[in-house]
Homo-oligomer: A and B are copies of this chain.
Amino acid sequence: MRDVYVVGVGSTKYGKMRESVREGAALAALEAIENSKIDPRLIDGAFIANAFAVTERQGHVGPLVMSALGIPEKPASTIEAACASGASAFREAVVNVAGGFADAYMAIGVEKVSTLDTITATGYFAMGSDFVYEGACGASFPGLYAMLARAHMQRYGTTEEQLAAVAVKNHANAKHNEKAHFQKEITAEMHKESMVVSSPLRLYDACPFSDGAAAAIVATKEVAQRLGGPMIKVAGMGRAGSVASLPDRVATDLTTLPGAKLAMKQALDRWGKPASKIDFAEVHDCFTIAEIIASEDLGFFAPGTGAKAVEAGETKIGGRIPINPSGGLKAKGHPVGATGVGQIYEIYNQLAGKVNPARQVRGAKVGLAHNVGATGGSVAVTILEVEN
């Protein structure tokens, strides 16, 4: 198995995207091509992470994007794993290079949902649930994550104020992220006064529906060295699942996503170092409770202590383990297919020392991405490390 490096990344601004799915994807890909300095003809193929192009009556997005990039002969398939589509596409790009099937490959995530009203968008997102047993019964994602929040509150005494601390931190980080959907701070007061979406979750516990696209190019060591950019290695990857339907997990434990623990174990096993050696993480905070659960599943904090840790500032930039310096899904935004690739974009730029100094994690050598589909049906963990 060959070592694989991220050689370039690109991203549109998240929020409302005027461009179509294919155009957004191509813009992010072009940025990645430009900043990697790679000849696009050396890219052997791509995976497009996308869930909702159907809303513009478009499937088979891959060839459209490759044609737009001027390399129509190169293959591109769409990969979908609900909100973990991006990391899943990134993984397969890495697998192709590591396995010797390609010397350079691209993962592009893209989504456009701003053409939909909130009800319609929520309905589309609910397709990521076990629709027969969840979505169709009214359990869309705010409701499902509210169940996880209730379970965490009951078992560990987690409070609404602690949930608010996640949102406040992530908005503060996104304020300094020019690609973020929301570049504004919020206060605990604003969180408390925001409407209840699904008790105990309020509007400010939820990530927004965002448009956006992100791209990452991975390549062999030889290609990476030739391109001359920073040597940022894919040091570990894990990809696992959990029982698809939340009702089927009630009898076990709703304060954890089993697939996240498993994916983290796989990633650490490959990396060969413990979670404590990770400098910062981008985690899947589709709702504030999700970040708290993630911080425990990933082993940064013991079960039941993640909420207290965020309240104590341990996950702020400058804290013990900065979480979501980008602003996370909560404030950077959540363009479904793009999200997992956008985490790689953030980690690459952090490790390359290229982000706004106001939110740069200083001295970071290792970053982790945690991307979740639905309530853990799909989970991917990726560790990137600067090679000196």
User: Which A residues have a C-beta under 8 Å from some C-beta of B?
Assistant: 1, 20, 45, 51, 54, 56-60, 62-64, 66-67, 72-82, 85, 88, 92, 95-96, 98-101, 123, 126-132, 135-136, 239-245, 248, 258-259, 262, 373-374, 377-380
Contacts and interface: CB of A to CB of B under 8 A. Distances in A.
Given A58-B131, A78-B79, A99-B101, A63 B373 contact: yes
B135 A57 contact: yes
Contacts of A129: 60
Contacts of A374: 60, 63
A40 to B, nearest CB: 14
B242 A63 contact: yes
Nearest to A374: B60
B242 A73 contact: yes
Nearest to A46: B241
A127 B244 CA distance: 28
A93 to B, nearest CB: 11
28 contacts: A1-B101, A45-B239, A57-B127, A57-B131, A58-B127, A59-B80, A59-B82, A60-B127, A60-B129, A60-B373, A62-B241, A63-B241, A63-B242, A63-B243, A63-B244, A63-B377, A63-B378, A73-B240, A75-B81, A76-B378, A77-B80, A77-B88, A79-B79, A92-B92, A92-B95, A95-B101, A99-B99, A99-B100
B75 A241 contact: yes
Contacts of A80: 59-60, 77-80
Contacts of A379: 75
Given A60-B80, A82-B59, A239 B75 contact: yes
Contacts of A131: 56-58
B54 A127 contact: yes
Contacts of A136: 57
Nearest to A249: B72
Contacts of A101: 1, 95, 98-99
Contacts of A248: 67
Contact of A378 (B62, B95, B100): B62
A75 B262 CA distance: 11
A82 B57 contact: no
Given A95-B101, A99-B1, A127-B57, A66 B240 contact: no
A343 B200 CA distance: 50
Contacts of A81: 60, 62, 75-78
B56 A54 contact: no
A67 B258 contact: no
A301 to B, nearest CB: 23
Given A57-B127, A60-B374, 18 more contacts: A20-B132, A45-B239, A54-B54, A57-B135, A58-B127, A59-B80, A60-B244, A62-B241, A63-B242, A63-B377, A64-B130, A64-B244, A73-B241, A73-B242, A75-B88, A79-B79, A95-B96, A98-B100
Contacts of A239: 45, 75
